[in-house]
Amino acid sequence: MKVIITGGTGQLGTYLTQLLKKDYDVYTYSKQELDITDPTHLEEKMTSIQPDVVYHCAAFTNVDQCEEEAERAFMINSFGARSVAAACQSVGAKMVYVSTDYIFDGEKPCPYLETDKPNPLNIYGKSKWLGERLVQLENPNSYIIRTSWLYGKNKNGFVDTMLECARMNKEVEVVHDRTGSPTYTKDLALLLRDIIELNPGVYHVSNTGACSWYEFAQEIFERIGQKRNYVRPITSKDYRVKALRPVNSALQTHYDLPLRHWKDALDAYMSEELFCD
């Protein structure tokens, strides 16, 4: 099977490339190699490779920067995604579009299901939600995979930042009034590999359970033997950022997808990736 991965040097794209290379003929591209806002280049690549599946991991993911560069956010996350979908449609390829929990407004008091109505609060969420709809319009043979709070080896994200603070005996202030589902990129990649066996549609794929950023940080500190009370709770009002974020963006699925609890995934990340190098 031939597979194209866009955003191949990003956090998810890197993992997915490593995983799929074991079984498939994988063509993975950085932004420099394949800019998804260039429809002509996209068409050329699709026509020459004739992929069976395209995993679209490329996106403008800096949530606060999206507020300042709204046009760029929509160019990449919405219209770029539409171009990928159109190119997939022209060669009969399945498309997997990775979307986000930030398409929801956070008003729901429990985790969001695939059937809940999106109502994004920020530009990033709006651009991804428009991307979802454009992709489905262009290519009915597409999979919309909503995920959340990603962490993994290939980017200095939340987990790595917390670990650094814990190792340096540094106290850290973390927001306690935002809830979500932390998701290990490796678990997401495994699910993405297999999801194309199911029918096209919308799927929520995150590790199960939910927590606040504060609880997440405490669990990280505890796992390397550091005191939980080195993590101090603050409100999101005190943590000044440009983009409004949902109070609750935990995800749940209607489908029977094999995903472990976020605490088990965190254990796995820390033992497999951090302590084995």
Ligand X SMILES: NC(=O)c1ccc[n+]([C@@H]2O[C@H](COP(=O)([O-])OP(=O)(O)OC[C@H]3O[C@@H](n4cnc5c(N)ncnc54)[C@H](OP(=O)(O)O)[C@@H]3O)[C@@H](O)[C@H]2O)c1
Question: Does 12 engage in binding with ligand X (CB under 6 A)?
Answer: yes
Question: Does 11 engage in binding with ligand X (CB under 6 A)?
Answer: yes
Out of 28, 61, 218, 253, name the contact with ligand X by CB under 6 A: 61
Out of 147, 179, 212, 253, name the contact with ligand X by CB under 6 A: 147
**57 near 12, Cβ under 8 Å?**
yes
Torsion of CA 120, 123, 127, 132, to 10 degrees: -20
In the complex, what is the shortest distance from the CB of residue 154 to ligand X, in angstroms, rounded to a whole number? 7
Number of residues located near ligand X, criterion CB under 6 A: 26
Count the Cβ atoms, other than its own, within 10 Å of residue 49. 16
Tokens of 140: 């009915």
Q: Is 55 a catalytic residue?
A: no
Whose Cβ is closer to ligand X: residue 61's or residue 78's?
61
Whose Cβ is closer to ligand X: residue 61's or residue 142's?
61
Residue 3, beta-bridge partner list = 26, 53
Stretch near ligand X under the rule CB under 6 A, chosen from 54-62, 111-119, 160-168, 264-272: 54-62
In the complex, what is the shortest distance from the CB of residue 37 to ligand X, in angstroms, rounded to a whole number? 5
Site string for ligand X, 151-190 (x = CB under 6 A): ----x-----------------------------------
Stretch near ligand X under the rule CB under 6 A, chosen from 17-25, 144-152, 207-215, 230-238: 144-152
Say how far apart CA 73 and CA 89 lie, in whole Å.
23
Q: Which residue has the tokens 């540094």?
A: 170
Question: Does 66 engage in binding with ligand X (CB under 6 A)?
Answer: no
Question: Does 57 engage in binding with ligand X (CB under 6 A)?
Answer: yes
**147 near 251, Cβ under 8 Å?**
yes
**243 near 176, Cβ under 8 Å?**
no
Count the Cβ atoms, other than its own, within 10 Å of residue 232. 12
**Annotated catalytic residue: which of 29, 55, 97, 124?**
124
In the complex, what is the shortest distance from the CB of residue 192 to ligand X, in angstroms, rounded to a whole number? 10
Q: Where are the beta strands (DSSP E) in 101-163?
A: 142-147, 150-151
Residues 32-51 that bind ligand X (CB under 6 A): 35-37
In the complex, what is the shortest distance from the CB of residue 229 to ligand X, in angstroms, rounded to a whole number? 27
Task: Look at phi and psi of residue 201 and say left if phi exceeds 0, alpha if psi is from -120 to 50, else beta.
Answer: left
Torsion of CA 152, 153, 156, 158, to 10 degrees: 30
Out of 3, 4, 10, 189, name the contact with ligand X by CB under 6 A: 10
Question: Does 59 engage in binding with ligand X (CB under 6 A)?
Answer: yes
Q: Residue 212: which H helix or E strand, with range?
A: strand 211-212
Q: Give the strand pairing for 179-180 and 211-212.
A: antiparallel
Comparing CA positions, the residue from 188, 204, 207 lying closest to residue 114 is 204
In the complex, what is the shortest distance from the CB of residue 77 to ligand X, in angstroms, rounded to a whole number? 7
Q: Which residues are catalytic?
A: 124
Q: Which residues bind ligand X (CB under 6 A)?
A: 6-7, 9-13, 31, 35-37, 57-61, 76, 80, 98, 100, 128, 147-150, 155
